[in-house]
Amino acid sequence: MIYPRRMKRIAIILSMLALSAAYLHADYTDHRNRHVDSLEVVLQTNNHLSDDDRVRMYKDMMWGYLQTDGKRSAYYAQQVVELSRRYGYLNSENDGLRILGLVSYGAGDYESALDYFNQALAVTERMRNNKHYKESDIDDNLSSLYGSIGNLYNMQDKLHLAISYYKKALSIFEKYDWKESTAILYYNVAELYASMGNRTEAELNYRKSLHWALLSADSGLIALPNKGLALFYIASATYDSASAYLPYAYDYYSAHRDEENEAFIECLVAKGRIALNRDKNISLASDFASEALGRISNNTASEQVASVYMLMCEVAMSKKDWQQALRFALLSVEADGGDTYSDVGLYVWMAQIYVELGDSQKAKDYIVKVHNMMAEFATLHYQSGLSQMEVLYETEKKQLQIEQLEAQRRGILIFSIMAAVILLSLILIFFFLWRSMRLQRRNAVVQAKLEGELAERVRISRDLHDRLGGLLTALRLTLSAGSEPQRLTDEAIREMRNVSHHLLPDSLRRYGLRTALADYCAVLKTVTFEYRGEKVRLEHEDAIYCIVYELVNNAVKSAAAKKIYVLLELSDGTLHICISDDGKGFSKDEVNGGAGLANVRERVAALKGVMQIDSQENKGTTINILINVKQI
């Protein structure tokens, strides 16, 4: 049985993003601001300050007001930025932009915060070409900014993007052997991977966190990944492995239960799950659950409260006290906010509870809810992953543009002292080399994006099959044969298998593109599939499958077509793909500028192919793609 839980994300110590909105807008005249209040007086009374002194005082004031008055902190940060740009103080400009980003974050303006952080990154890149700044200064700026951006995306549940920036910060942490920061950030990354269902990466990063925590010799820091690994193994019912890590965490948090109450509650719940599911000791599990329940207060985080109620529910189910089990299940849903993907396992339990209580309609309702949430998760999680990859792709493009512009600026400074003929020759050579490198790097980024999409499809497919398949199959065994709940459960299992299979089917690897597409199209009543030409295996069949899958899926969902025709023809090393429908078609703007079609064009271009779209509104659409399979 899976015990889903909402992962708690720890803010990394390198940034000040834990500031609350209340702090940012509090009265700034309290005792914490005596120093900056005195600086205000100096600024108002001394008109003979040098520019350097003024910048230093503004920096002291923007940092001093940060925790107590966001508006004044932002005001002085803006002054720092303006003076720094005037006099070329790059490091100070970076600091001012970072403070503006932190204030925007504290006010909930994530878009502005990200813009300021990206401006600060661009300034830090310019520092690389200035001999006045040491490498350590640049790395310190970058690690703080990467961590801040990672936290920003983390708070918005854009986990792919958060992990990407956390890993950039980690490379700098490890470079300078910052043990404590490295241990905490690896723990954060592990938590994010666990919440995404990527167990392999989660386990790897938990272990890296433990390695760096042991190097730090900080007992509190060592307890953190031990707890993470214990909960990680309990979630997969690997109780012996969990028992290897839980004792250290339990002993530490038990000794610090007052200041680490939530972590201690997590350890109590973990103890209860092991006692109940491995040792079959219902009495001991009940004791741990009751102790955890007694430690809940108004300040306890909702995910800890929900996990305690889930354990109480499971204990009651083991005692066959179905009314008590139902009460705690409903309390867990209420504490967790309800209708999140982490509630799927709990809803399966509730369906079983209602079956035992003889309420077939309620059991049916929860089976339907499991089915609907599963389908919604598959769609939203996949689309969210792709959209975040788009942002990563665009970020890489911008970074390449910055690097190229900096390279051009350096080249101009060097070439300006040369004779006209030599200058012209070198510029021409540079231009052609730059264009070639840009094309190569762009193709590499697009290829990496394609590989990322394929990996995401595989992960989601495996997650649906492994995590939910077992839950639904176990539930089916508890239902009466031929009953309506059992019929709905069978339908949910079939739907889950269809979604899981067609994201990236096993038949694609075993039998090839032709068979996989024929299977996919056969499931769709409006789609007719035809294959002509040579029956051979191709390179990059998985990428070609995803292109056809995307176009057919778009036609089924958006075109309102009654008939869709899919043709694959392989002849003389050229693969011709034709997808036509009698649907509502595209407008001219959608054909030329639509984001969805632009994404497909990029994927086709990455395979060195071309795509042509012939569409008129209310007259259907025909899409032709030609790929030279010998040049891929």
How do residues 583-606 score in pLDDT, each as one tens digit? Answer: 888 776 666 655 567 778 888 888
The 3-state DSSP class for residue 580 equals strand
Are the beta carbons of 472 and 466 closer than 8 angstroms?
Answer: no
Question: Does residue 392 sit in the same domain as residue 496?
Answer: yes
Are the beta carbons of 246 and 274 closer than 8 angstroms?
Answer: yes
Kindly indicate the confidence band of residue 407, based on its pLDDT and cuts at 50, 70 and 90.
low
Give pTM, 2 decimals: 0.58
Q: Distance between CA atoms of 404 and 397, rounded to whole angstroms?
A: 10
The 3-state DSSP class for residue 623 equals strand
In 3D space, the residue among 24, 105, 17 whose CA is nearest the CA of residue 69 turns out to be 24
Highest-scoring range by mean pLDDT, 159-173, 441-455, 497-511? 159-173
For residue 597, give its domain range. Answer: 510-628
Are the beta carbons of 79 and 44 closer than 8 angstroms?
Answer: no
In 3D space, the residue among 139, 145, 183, 184 whose CA is nearest the CA of residue 165 turns out to be 145
Residue 280 in domain? no
Report the pLDDT averaged over residues 162-178: 93
437: pLDDT strictly greater than 70: no
- Which range, of 154-168, 195-209, 423-437, averages the lowest pLDDT? 423-437
- Which range, of 104-108, 205-209, 438-442, averages the lowest pLDDT? 438-442
Question: Does residue 518 sit in the same domain as residue 468?
Answer: no
Residue 57: predicted pLDDT? 87
What is the total count of domains within the chain?
2
CA angle 437, 442, 448 (to 5 degrees): 125
Residue 17 in domain? no
Residue 486 in domain? yes
Question: Does residue 447 sit in the same domain as residue 564?
Answer: no
172: pLDDT strictly greater than 60: yes
Residue 489 in domain? yes
Residue 84: predicted pLDDT? 93
Question: Among the three residues 478, 500, 522, which one is the final residue of a domain in this structure?
Answer: 500
Report the pLDDT averaged over residues 325-336: 88
Residue 334: predicted pLDDT? 86
Report the pLDDT averaged over residues 160-172: 92
In 3D space, the residue among 476, 233, 195, 230 whose CA is nearest the CA of residue 340 turns out to be 195
Question: Does residue 445 sit in the same domain as residue 520?
Answer: no
Report the pLDDT averaged over residues 492-514: 68
Question: Does residue 533 sit in the same domain as residue 573?
Answer: yes
Residue 418: predicted pLDDT? 59
The pLDDT > 70 percentage for the chain reads 70
Kindly indicate the confidence band of residue 17, based on its pLDDT and cuts at 50, 70 and 90.
very low
Can you list the alpha helix ranges (DSSP code H) found in 65-158? Answer: 70-87, 90-106, 110-127, 135-155
How do residues 58-97 score in pLDDT, each as one tens digit? Answer: 898 898 888 888 899 999 999 999 999 999 999 999 999 9
pLDDT higher at 179 or 469: 179
Tokens for 583, please give them: 């649907």
Report the pLDDT averaged over residues 338-353: 72
In 3D space, the residue among 101, 132, 135 whose CA is nearest the CA of residue 118 turns out to be 101
Question: Does residue 459 sit in the same domain as residue 403?
Answer: yes
Question: Does residue 520 sit in the same domain as residue 488?
Answer: no
Residue 94 in domain? no
443: pLDDT strictly greater than 70: no
Question: Does residue 487 sit in the same domain as residue 453?
Answer: yes
- Other beta carbons within 10 angstroms of residue 42's beta carbon come to 11
Question: Does residue 624 sit in the same domain as residue 516?
Answer: yes
- Other beta carbons within 10 angstroms of residue 51's beta carbon come to 12
The phi and psi torsions of 187 (rounded to 5 degrees) equal -65, -45
Sign of CA dihedral 352, 355, 356, 357: positive
- Which range, of 5-19, 292-306, 576-590, averages the lowest pLDDT? 5-19
Q: Distance between CA atoms of 99 and 403, rounded to whole angstroms?
A: 25
22: pLDDT strictly greater than 80: no
Residue 508: predicted pLDDT? 80
Question: Does residue 496 sit in the same domain as residue 381?
Answer: yes
Residue 174: predicted pLDDT? 94
Question: What is the chain's mean pLDDT, rounded?
Answer: 79
Residue 537: predicted pLDDT? 86
Question: Does residue 452 sit in the same domain as residue 483?
Answer: yes
pLDDT higher at 262 or 473: 262
Residue 616: predicted pLDDT? 84
Residue 46 in domain? no
Kindly indicate the confidence band of residue 327, based on its pLDDT and cuts at 50, 70 and 90.
very high
In 3D space, the residue among 105, 144, 113 whose CA is nearest the CA of residue 14 turns out to be 144
pLDDT higher at 136 or 4: 136
- Which range, of 146-150, 284-288, 380-384, 580-584, averages the lowest pLDDT? 380-384
The 3-state DSSP class for residue 629 equals coil
In 3D space, the residue among 418, 314, 330 whose CA is nearest the CA of residue 366 turns out to be 330
381: pLDDT strictly greater than 60: no
Report the pLDDT averaged over residues 162-186: 93
Residue 433 in domain? yes
Tokens for 236, please give them: 């997969």
Burial 561-573 (b: 16+ CB within 10 A, else e): beebbbebebeee
Are the beta carbons of 232 and 194 closer than 8 angstroms?
Answer: yes
Residue 386 in domain? yes
Beta strands 609-615 and 621-628 are antiparallel
Q: Residue 615 belongs to a domain with what CATH number? A: 3.30.565.10
Residue 430: predicted pLDDT? 67
Question: Among the three residues 467, 500, 533, which one is the final residue of a domain in this structure?
Answer: 500
Burial class (CB in 10 A: 0-12, 13-18, 19+), 216: middle
Residue 31: predicted pLDDT? 39
Are the beta carbons of 142 and 121 closer than 8 angstroms?
Answer: yes
Distance of CA 534 to the CA centre of its chain: 41
* 501 Cβ contact list (under 8 Å, min separation 6): 461
25: pLDDT strictly greater than 80: no
